[in-house]
Structure 1
Amino acid sequence: MVDQWQPDVLGEPFEQLTLPLGEDDQGPVVATLVRSRAHAAPLGGIFGDHRSLHDIDVLYVHGWSDYFFQRSLAAYWTDRGADFYALDLRKYGRSLRPGQTPGYITNLATYDEDIAAALAAMGRTIDDSSNGRRLVLLGHSTGGLVLSLWAAGHPGASDALILNSPWLEFQLNAVARTAVAPMVGLQARLRPLDTLPQVDFGFYTRAQREARGGEDLDVNLEWRPEQTMAVHAGWLSAILAGHTRVAAGLHIQEPVCVLLSEKSAVPSRWSDELTRADTVLVVDDIARASLRLGSSVTVERIPGALHDIFLSRPDARDIAYERLDRWVMGCLGTKRLPVSPGQYA
């Protein structure tokens, strides 16, 4: 499988690997794994690699109406010795094939197949960590929901979970979700491909562009349109089912770090406020839902951040990376001394 790695659209040092996943009623299905590996440590062959994250593999999963293109996020990890992998899920980005409904799925558990294929390509198995490398899961928005559910279903398979504005609760709060879910579920059973109404003026994409000083995002607009992809009943029903599981508590064993903007803003009309807030999620609701992920959860609120924390204005982005680094180095970057029972009584 190593021989099948190909140059990626992001250019050096990124490569991509197509992961066949069989077929569904829309034809052949694939996922795509993108990688950027850490450079060899100077004199590492003689003295060993002593970089803090030299034994870590990172697996990133993107959000809704999205794909992986964040070069700088990968560089943060590879600069510290980690190998970085990003998964374009089936029917997203690099994995989208002609005739497929973008992003469409009716059960989030189906993504277990995508993740299993990615781990195999990384030289890992779900239940065996004998390769001596730790696994960090990193998810944005819907990808954060997907990875949270996966981590809950595969205890011990990863070493940490980092979530960038994870979509853990419906925007209209838990009460609305409970009321809406049965109606959406019925529609999903009868007409799963029905398109549901939504309002998107493209302000979130504009806010990201403004955060970069007006520069283009340098993305493929077929894979990441300026206005979100169509929402279908079957897909939304799967999302709401995921939210319901989070609300019931996931009991994730591994430490979790959740990065969120300090505030939300409603994108009903354009204003500069939209460049310094999450215009997709209600961040206070997400902060509360985060505490149901497990018993070791850190919530970092980033002032002035967008929905994708790492695409925010430079000041907010710098704070985000500083907070991320503090958590990563404290949790993963040093070898901890074991604490014996009663040692500090």
Structure 2
Amino acid sequence: MAAWEPDVLGDDYEQLTLPLAPDAEGDVVATLVRRRRAGDDPYLDVLYVHGWSDYFFQTDLADFWEAHGARFHALDLRKYGRSLRPGQTPGYVTDLSTYDEDIEAALAAMGHDGAEGSGRALVLMGHSTGGLTLSLWLARHPGRAAALVLNSPWLEFQTREVGRLLLEPVIGARARLTPTRRLPSVDLGFYTRSVSKDFGGEWTYDLAWRPQHGFPTTPAWLAAIFRGQQTVALGLSLGAPVLVLLSARSTLLPRWSPEMLRTDTAIDVDGVARRCVQLGDLVTLARLDGALHDVLLSARPVRALAYGRIAQWAAAYLPRPAPAVEPDPRARR
């Protein structure tokens, strides 16, 4: 395996290239990112997975988890961010289970390869498509993670189940005939306008890795999303506690509105909220007024509330183990 190297996020971060099996486009890698300095006596390992047209840059998230006793890692999946190579179709896969290889490689590097383990509980955290991907992975690998945190997971299509089932045969046919042909773009750049400092937002990131209008989508990729969402609709029966963070409202319009600065402009949050109960029997849903699609990129008061909800939930379901107490040899038998 390659060695850890300096990361684009600065001196506190480093990255590890994870070689994967080649595909039709050539060599494929994933990239694991971690903080150089872990907090004192961590008892959790957190693995974060980004969404569509995205990569890891949210250092506040690493700060939060480290402060709560975790070693934090983030994974740039194949053909995204640090893992995107020249000549590759960004984000292109034909089945979300393809990412099993990426996730397993990351977990092995973290010490969670299914052997003795790291001695720390594993928490998975995913945003949007990453949330869908991790939900499906955990359903196929029960018992591997202690908990799952989902930030606006794309569990259902924007037209909800009825629209998805109507579109699925058409997209499936295109996936068989022209799998890599670009679909019409539906990203008008409103989400980027709400978050990027280049367009009046608060956050600085690489627009080559997180483009203003997103990466082009393809029929084969969308068919894979539909299959994943249908699997969720049938029920996953996850055995781990799940926390879902969602905005209180969506604004899905073809023109800019100021409401887009305080609502989700990517998914139908009400449809996703209804779908959450299909994940398992222990699901906590937190709806936050004023939240964006990436809840943790919302305005400061909103994301402070979101972090508070995660901390509250973690205290209940991921409590720090009590320190071992040595018996007093003077105690009577």
- Please give the range of the TM-score, normalised by the shorter of the 2 chains: over 0.9
Aligned to 2:69: 81
Q: Whole-Å Cα distance in 2 between the matches of residues 163 and 67 of structure 1?
A: 16
Aligned to 2:260: 274
Q: Whole-Å Cα distance in 2 between the matches of residues 67 and 209 of structure 1?
A: 14
Q: Whole-Å Cα distance in 2 between the matches of residues 240 and 129 of structure 1?
A: 36
Aligned to 1:142: 129
Aligned to 1:164: 151
3-state secondary structure, aligned to 2:239: coil
Q: Cα distance 1:272–1:118, how it changes in 2: closer, same or farther (>3 A)?
A: same
On the 8 A contact 2:52/2:129 being kept in 1, the answer is yes
Q: Whole-Å Cα distance in 2 between the matches of residues 254 and 135 of structure 1?
A: 11
Aligned to 1:9: 8
Aligned to 1:196: 183
In the alignment, structure 1 segments of 5+ residues that lack a partner are 42-48, 337-345
Residue identity matched to 2:222: L
Pick from 219, 228, 243: which aligns with 2:205?
219
Aligned length: 322
CA-based RMSD: 1.7
3-state secondary structure, aligned to 1:4: coil
3-state secondary structure, aligned to 2:101: helix
Residue identity matched to 1:71: T
Pick from 38, 62, 65: which aligns with 2:53?
65
Deviations 1:33-67 (A, max 9, x none): 001255453xxxxxxx4xxxx21110000000000
Q: Cα distance 1:330–1:216, how it changes in 2: closer, same or farther (>3 A)?
A: closer
Deviations 1:226-266 (A, max 9, x none): 11110100100000000000000001000000000000012
Pick from 235, 240, 244: which aligns with 2:226?
240
The reply on whether 1:296 has 2:295 as its aligned counterpart is no
Aligned to 1:208: 195
Displacement of 1:333 in angstroms is 2.2
Q: Whole-Å Cα distance in 2 between the matches of residues 17 and 269 of structure 1?
A: 41
Instruction: Calculate the TM-score normalised by the size of structure 2.
Output: 0.93
Pick from 89, 93, 96: which aligns with 1:101?
89
Displacement of 1:225 in angstroms is 0.4
Aligned to 1:120: 108
In percent, how many aligned pairs have the same letter?
55
Q: Whole-Å Cα distance in 1 between the matches of residues 199 and 23 of structure 2?
A: 43
Q: Whole-Å Cα distance in 1 between the matches of residues 137 and 38 of structure 2?
A: 30
Q: Cα distance 1:141–1:96, how it changes in 2: closer, same or farther (>3 A)?
A: same
Displacement of 1:132 in angstroms is 1.2
3-state secondary structure, aligned to 1:14: strand
Displacement of 1:69 in angstroms is 0.4
Displacement of 1:81 in angstroms is 2.3
The reply on whether 1:90 has 2:78 as its aligned counterpart is yes
Displacement of 1:209 in angstroms is 3.5
The reply on whether 1:56 has 2:44 as its aligned counterpart is yes
Q: Which moved more, 1:73-82 or 1:150-159?
A: 73-82
Residue identity matched to 1:260: L
On the 8 A contact 2:244/2:285 being kept in 1, the answer is yes
The reply on whether 1:31 has 2:67 as its aligned counterpart is no
On the 8 A contact 2:39/2:66 being kept in 1, the answer is no
3-state secondary structure, aligned to 2:278: coil
Instruction: Calculate the TM-score normalised by the size of structure 1.
Output: 0.90
Q: Whole-Å Cα distance in 2 between the matches of residues 144 and 40 of structure 1?
A: 26
The reply on whether 1:260 has 2:259 as its aligned counterpart is no
Q: Cα distance 1:241–1:215, how it changes in 2: closer, same or farther (>3 A)?
A: closer
Aligned to 2:164: 177
Pick from 135, 138, 154: which aligns with 1:151?
138
Q: Whole-Å Cα distance in 2 between the matches of residues 181 and 129 of structure 1?
A: 42
Q: Whole-Å Cα distance in 2 between the matches of residues 82 and 38 of structure 1?
A: 11
Deviations 1:109-137 (A, max 9, x none): 01000001001111221x33543111000
Aligned to 2:330: none
Q: Whole-Å Cα distance in 2 between the matches of residues 278 and 168 of structure 1?
A: 14
In the alignment, structure 2 segments of 5+ residues that lack a partner are 323-333
